[in-house]
Structure 1
Amino acid sequence: DRVAFSEYHGMGSKTAAFLVRKGDWKLVHYEDYPDQLFNLANDPEELEDLAGDPAHATVMADLAAELRKICDPAAVDRAARKTQARMIVENGGKEAIIKRGDLGFSVPPGVQPMFD
């Protein structure tokens, strides 16, 4: 099975999130919260977190190993937080950013955001 990977470091997020999917299984790894595990064939809406079920410990370990083949989540999170902190300073600080407002969408690459 081919492995699918995604990561999220969005505005307002308290922690980085990493996703690894292999076959029917999806692992969501958070740097500051417990991991989540879902069987997408049996639970496509991701309502039953199987991470705490010892019966799925091997699946958890396999997906965690797949994630670490792709990246070091802790190092990526540190780098993202460092970049975010620099960008906050470059944009006038947290209060200035909040006052400016939210675009409500992601600006395409190469396009400068326009604020009212």
Structure 2
Amino acid sequence: MYIAMNRFRVKPDCVKEFEQRWLARDVLLRTVPGFVSFQFLRGPAHEDHVLYASHTVWVSHAAFGAWTQSEQFRQAHAQAGRGTVLTIGPPVFEGFDVLQDITASN
């Protein structure tokens, strides 16, 4: 498995609009082979920003790579960088190969 995360430092007065942009968007991930799950995360508030992260789980690094080259990816990111700037700087990408995955037993 592979986890892809983007971290965003959102200006405190832009939190509501940032969340609305994410929550109102078309989700195309379900149509991509190898997609497992997605989480949109709100983290701690700091004086100058609130930390957010997008977190996707993929069956493999190759599946994630295929997503970044797909038409669905182009559609999902077509509006990126347009409109009001809500963040301090660009998102920070972090990718992880999963070495161990422990889940709750049924």
Q: Normalising by structure 2, what TM-score?
A: 0.27
Q: Which has the larger radius of gyration?
A: 1
Q: Which has the higher strand share?
A: 2
After TM superposition, the score normalised by the length of structure 1 is: 0.26
